Amino acid sequence: MADARTKTIAIIAGDGVGKEVVAQGVRVLERLSELRGWSLKLVSLDLGADRFLRDGATFPAEDQRFVRESCDAVLLGAIGDPRVPSLDYARDILFGLRFGLDLYCNVRPVQCLDDRLMPIVGKRASDCDMVVFRENTEGVYVGVGGNFKKGTPDEVAITEDLNTRKGVERVIRAAFEFAVAHGRKRVTMSDKHNAMPHAHGLWKRCFDEVKGDYPGVEAKHMFVDALCMQMVRAPETLDVIVTNNLFGDIVTDLGAALQGGLGMAGSANVNPGRVSLFEPVHGSAPDIAGKDLANPLATVLTIGMLLSHLGFEGEEAKLIEVVREAVRTGHCTRDVGGELGTRAVGDWVVSQLR
């Protein structure tokens, strides 16, 4: 990174609503850059279903090299298109980024920004402010396993839960480091080591070891079933959560429901201190794609995380406030109770940047 203010960001709008929300995200980045005098280089990469259908390319080696060697961050919209039933092209792009950059932390803030969005009766928006660290490179999602006697009545199906000491320890440590850096009081590690003593026993042992290095942060353990109940019954007791790939996938969708739905959930795929990837949690949403209906606020929140990662202090908090105000004043899309389209929400957000 040549200068603290010169950053290169690869933009992969991708498919479906990804194109629409990223277009608004780019406007936010450009406007902030103009207001603050930053030198941001935004480089669009033509990846996704259109490109694949045009020339068969998924994630060409030169693009992979560019991202790895010349970028500071990647902003991604969504990948997925009903015209391409095979998920191979999506896997090439998403796994190419995730494993190519070794993005081992999927960080998902679960913060409810307005009482109107809080689905739990008797709870306020301020009761829900947690951050989930989901392990992003291991677990049951690595595809280890197989089928025996497939399609017969005697079929055997096995999916292995792959956990390494290095993988488990580094994501737990990242959660504690985040807690320290952001003044968060508690880290809750969630597993199921009572039922899965081998794989999740490793999580428990690593957690018990690592927590000793962070005496200022309260360390708590919860089985994932209890965690789900706690998220709904007493979200105010949860702060930073760290868990494996599968459980993280599930609890963050529950989390998205607590913050107003997928249109309000941002995320980062991080290797701390290295090139990382930022994307709204939602997918390409083919049902609403191209209709100016997609909520771009998840992308605005995601850009806040991207700017924090790049070291632009204070910008994320300001963007969160703009999003909070968008919802409070009804400058938002239908999924969160407004009447505006994607572009109009983008216009309003850009108009609020100071």
Residues in contact with ligand ATP by the rule CB under 6 A: 17, 21, 80, 262-263, 282-285, 287-288, 294-295, 298, 335
| Catalytic annotation, pick one of 50, 127, 129, 192 | 192
Q: What would the two tokens of residue 312 be?
A: 């632009």
Choosing from 150, 225, 287, 291, the catalytic residue is 225
Q: Is 89 a catalytic residue?
A: no
Beta strands in 28-167, from DSSP E residues, in sequence order: 39-44, 73-78, 105-111, 129-135, 145-148, 156-159
Minimum distance from residue 150 beta carbon to ligand ATP (Å): 24
Minimum CB separation of residue 184 from ligand ATP in Å reads: 27
The amino acid occupying position 228 is C
Number of alpha carbons in the 13 Å side-chain half-sphere of residue 9: 26
Q: Which is nearer to ligand ATP, 167 or 263 (CB)?
A: 263
Q: What are phi and psi of 126, to 5 degrees?
A: -65, -10
Supply 29's token pair: 């980045």
Can 15 be counted among the known catalytic residues?
Answer: no
Q: Residue 230: is it exposed, middle or buried by C-beta count within 10 angstroms (0-12/13-18/19+)?
A: middle
In 257-333, the DSSP E strands lie at 266-270, 276-280
Q: How, if at all, do strands 240-243 and 276-280 pair?
A: unpaired
Helix (H, G, I), strand (E, B) or coil at 327: helix
C-alpha dist (Å) from residue 113 to 307, 321, 325, 330 = 20, 9, 9, 13
Task: Please state the closest distance from residue 39 (CB atom) to ligand ATP, in A.
Answer: 30
End-to-end, the C-alpha distance of the chain in Å comes to: 26
Residue 97 burial (10 A CB sphere; 0-12, 13-18, 19+): buried
In the bound complex, what is the minimum distance in angstroms from residue 337's beta carbon to ligand ATP?
A: 12
Shortest Cβ contact with ligand ATP: which residue? Answer: 283
Is 253 assigned a catalytic role?
yes
3-state secondary structure of 250: helix
CA distance 291 to 273: 37
Cβ closest to ligand ATP, residue 18 vs residue 139: 18
Q: How far is the CB of 280 from ligand ATP (least distance, A)?
A: 6
155/253 with CB nearer ligand ATP: 253
> Can 141 be counted among the known catalytic residues?
yes
96 vs 263, beta carbon nearer ligand ATP: 263
Burial group, residue 125, by CB count within 10 angstroms (0-12, 13-18, 19+)? buried
150 is catalytic: no
State the nearest-atom distance from the C-beta of 61 to ligand ATP, in Å. Answer: 25
Nearer to ligand ATP, 92 or 239 (CB): 92
Catalytic pick from 127, 141, 214, 318? 141
Q: Which is nearer to ligand ATP, 17 or 202 (CB)?
A: 17
Active site residues: 141, 192, 225, 249, 253
